[in-house]
Amino acid sequence: MLLARLRPLTRLVGALALLVAVTACASLPRTPYTEADATMGLPMGIPNVRIWADGSLAELGPALRAFRAARDQGGFRDYTIMAISGGGEDGAYGAGLMNGWTRHGSRPQFSVVTGVSTGALIAPFAFLGPAYDQQLAAVYTQTDFKDVLSGNPIAGLFRDGVYSTDPLRRMVAKYVDGPFLARVAEEHRKGRRLLVLTTNLDAQRPVMWDMGAIATSGNPHAIELFRRVLVGSASIPGAFEPMMIDVVRDGRSFQEMHVDGGTTMQVLAVPTKVAAAGGDFVGTARTRNFYVLLNKKFSPDFDLTRRSTFVIAARGFDTLMKSDTYGTVLDSYRFAQKYKYKFQLGFIPDSFTLKEEGVFERSYMNALYQVGYEAGLRGGDWHSVPPGLYN
């Protein structure tokens, strides 16, 4: 998702978007499909691995019942939800916090992990636990622009994204291999859940993927779908090429266009309509914890906005995203209060003021990783109440 600071990539995308509109560049061909196809189609032929995250109560009902059944099957004494937000390279904060938290010795095993955008890249490592801390650290401390994106921005005018995510796809494939998928499947069978959000850009709706269901499907395409969902969740529309996911319905094949989950939801937490509906969200667990980890600053980030069309547009969009995040956090806090979960909110501290010079700059990510790591060493620096709520 777009970040709080105005970055070179954001301005470039805006400029190129205007150029596209002016020059009316030809689009790439697509096979038409309908909204019903998007609802009923099987991604890569695999059933029962996703739902609309903004679905009605009737649509969400079967998934919620299955979710509660898995929770009860797991027999958790301690039930812990971890929701990880987007934030691009600022995901270095979350990666550092996870590793420092392990070192502190108080990091729990998460019963449920959800991820959006860069949070989707963190989520599988967080789900599998401290044994994968080294790989998680490498993703955010040993990579830079060329390890994530490639391509000529001008040539990107004639594709479907300014930059290609081929390097990111290769990096994800390096870590998400057969044994990795088997470990996710093993934990899924224990009743734990790993959920990732993408945005179906055709439908303009958020899609929640059950990554453990993909891993346990036994389908030969499972590992490729798993990887595509992770990359798709992190693909900023316009800036990065979208992730095209092959879908089959009634013998017909087409491709859905999936982009950054942060386009529709900043954090995959608790939908307001679900919380309002009531039901058994308590179970038999002795303790219940709800963590929301923001790879961004929570408070408004003052920055004198230049009088430039693209800068103003980018700043306005980023402000909208921050407001949406705040609303999600408040909904999560109310949910936690209602169902007696211990609420814990983490975010990048205001004291971190370093500005990056480029996109996915390694020195910047290493500095932010260290800030997160030090927070983890202190137990996470969690807030039990959203700052400013009662001020």
What is the reported pTM?
A: 0.89
DSSP string across 259-317: EEGGGT-SS----HHHHHH-----TT-SEEEEEEE-SS-SS-------S-HHHHHHHHH
**205-236: pLDDT as tens digits:** 999 999 999 999 999 999 999 999 999 999 98
Sequence-separated (6 or more) residues with CB below 8 Å from residue 52: 39, 59, 205, 206, 207, 208
3-state helix, strand, coil in the chain (%, to 5): 45, 15, 35
**Which positions ≥6 away from 276 have C-beta within 8 Å?**
none
Averaged confidence pLDDT in the chain: 86
Give the H or E element holding residue 37: helix 35-40
Q: Which has more confidence, 243 or 389?
A: 243
pLDDT tens digit sequence for 14-50: 444 444 444 445 567 889 999 899 999 999 999 999 9
Characterize the bridge pairing of strands 252-260 and 287-293: unpaired
CB within 8 A of 144, min separation 6: which ones? 360, 361, 362
pLDDT of residue 15: 42
For 141-189, give the DSSP string. Answer: HS--HHHH-BS-TTGGGGTTSSBB-HHHHHHHHHHS-HHHHHHHHHHHH
Q: Is 250 exposed, middle or buried (0-12, 13-18, 19+ CB in 10 A)?
A: exposed
Give residue-wise pLDDT tens across range 186-204. 999 999 999 999 999 999 9
